[in-house]
Amino acid sequence: MLMPANTLMNQPAISSALPDAVIKALRTVIGAGKANLHEPSFNGNEWVYLKECLDSTFVSSVGSYVDRFEKDLATFTGARHAVAVVNGTAALHLALLLAGVKEGDEVLLPSLTFIATANAVAYCKAVPHFIDCNEHTLGVDPAALRDYLQRSCEVRDGHCFNKSSGRIVRALVPMHTFGHPVDIDGLLAVAADYQLALVEDAAESLGSYRAGRHTGTHGLLGVLSFNGNKTITTGGGGAILTNDAALAKLAKHLSTTAKIPHAWEYSHDVVGYNYRMPNLNAALGCAQLEQLPDLLANKRRLFEKYRSAFADVAGVQLFHEPADCHSNYWLQTLVLDEKFAAQRDAILQATNAAGLMTRPVWTLAHQQLPFRDCPSMPLPVAQSLAQRLINIPSSAFLGAVGAA
């Protein structure tokens, strides 16, 4: 949801003073010096667990920390099963395969997403089909999607078919942008009506909830990422969440090269993937998970600090968690009023020159060279937001008690 911050009405465009006003507001929170967009925090048992892992010599895909990390993830998220893998993209690739995505299928996904979402679809030799987002969640808009599917698709023989291409539309992949939950109930209803498997891209939303339920646990499968810039990190890593025991078992089998368990023989029953998370990374993850409640609390305090600092900056709004949601505030986000969109690049240039790392949202996926010929619904909201979103420094320590 967008929090108004002195939005101008019927007034001329603001001057080039806006970049200075943004820098001033950022300095109010951050203080002097440089600030990266997002840095990890290592203030717990990271060194202890890593040393234990090294001492054990089990540093690869077999070891006690992988099992512990999966158990701890399942406990925290409320998922019945968690399968740890090498990164979030690998998690999404496997999740799509587990959801039944086949070569030549179409998969619905937002254009406003990191390119990994579309890449994972391409790994399945399937076709990304881009859909629009909602300005109040930054994620897929259920109402707009339903209207589009009513016009462009039909359900027959238990499958959803694209009337134009004739291909089966197999799955829907909503993404919880910057950690803010989408309207998942609305999307589950659309998925049920159109026979779509729903796979949640929750890569950015560890610690986010809608109606008290953790993201990534609503659909058939969900995926998480633990890249170095995420709320917690394993260096590189990801996970698949599911409440389906059979899918979890198959996910673990496929991610370990589909090796049939045996004391010494190496036999494989299907094409598998070397996607299992190494024990060394899982050791780091276990220490990070122990600190997650404090990291989330710091991020929420940072949001409150920014909300106060930007309250009087005209033409800029600070993105707020959607209704009935509890967001992790992975990346704090400014939204420029539409008539001030032309100021975006000036703000980016000025803030980065001042040592305050900011960035625009990703280039929309349907505009990326590998995916320009893919099917797409009209994308007016995504195209507008792409010109108006700015991520600002979001490291959890910036919101710690006593931080400048």
pLDDT in tens, 257-302: 999 999 999 999 999 999 999 999 999 999 999 999 999 999 999 9
Instruction: Give the model's pLDDT for residue 2.
Output: 54
The owner of tokens 């799509």 is: 96
Whole-number Å distance between alpha carbons of 92 and 118 = 10
How much of the chain, in percent, has pLDDT values that exceed 90? 93
Whole-number Å distance between alpha carbons of 110 and 125 = 18
In this model, does residue 10 exceed pLDDT 80? Answer: no
For the entire predicted model, the pTM comes to 0.94
Under the banding of pLDDT at 50, 70 and 90, the label for residue 7 is: very low
In this model, does residue 38 exceed pLDDT 60? Answer: yes
In this model, does residue 375 exceed pLDDT 70? Answer: yes
Mean pLDDT of 101-109: 98
Q: Where are the domains of the chain?
A: 2-41+291-399, 46-289
What is the CA 56 to chain-centroid distance, rounded?
34
Instruction: Give the model's pLDDT for residue 61.
Output: 83
Mean pLDDT of 364-374: 98
DSSP state letters, 85-125: ES-HHHHHHHHHHHTT--TT-EEEEESSS-HHHHHHHHHTT
Return the bridge partners of 391, or none. Answer: 333, 359
CATH for 46-289 is 3.40.640.10
Whole-number Å distance between alpha carbons of 61 and 54 = 13
In this model, does residue 6 exceed pLDDT 60? Answer: no
Residue among 198, 196, 246, 241 nearest 222 (CA): 241
For the segment 236-256, what is each residue's pLDDT rounded down to a tens digit? 999 999 999 999 999 999 999
- Highest CATH level, class, for 2-41+291-399: alpha beta
Instruction: Give the model's pLDDT for residue 16.
Output: 72
Q: Tell which wins on pLDDT, 131 or 5.
A: 131
DSSP state letters, 175-186: B-GGG----HHH
Angle between the 64-77 and 279-309 helix axes, to the nearest 10 degrees?
30
In this model, does residue 11 exceed pLDDT 60? Answer: no
For the segment 49-99, what is each residue's pLDDT rounded down to a tens digit? 999 999 999 999 888 999 999 999 999 999 999 999 999 999 999 999 999
The owner of tokens 């995505």 is: 101
Tokens of 179: 């950690």
Residue among 239, 217, 141, 213 nearest 182 (CA): 141
Under the banding of pLDDT at 50, 70 and 90, the label for residue 5 is: very low
The owner of tokens 């339903």 is: 146
In this model, does residue 4 exceed pLDDT 50? Answer: no
Mean pLDDT of 140-147: 98
Q: What is the side-by-side order of every strand in the sheet holding 316-319?
A: 2-3, 316-319, 333-336, 389-391, 359-360
Instruction: Give the model's pLDDT for residue 62.
Output: 85
- From residue 392, alpha-carbon distances to 137, 145, 348 in Å are 18, 30, 10
Q: Establish whether domains 2-41+291-399 and 46-289 are of one fold.
A: no
Mean pLDDT of 318-340: 97
Length of the chain: 404
- From residue 172, alpha-carbon distances to 176, 215, 218, 220, 251 in Å are 13, 15, 13, 10, 19
Residue among 33, 80, 65 nearest 251 (CA): 80
Fill in the amino acid letter for 397: F
For the segment 188-200, what is each residue's pLDDT rounded down to a tens digit? 999 999 999 999 9
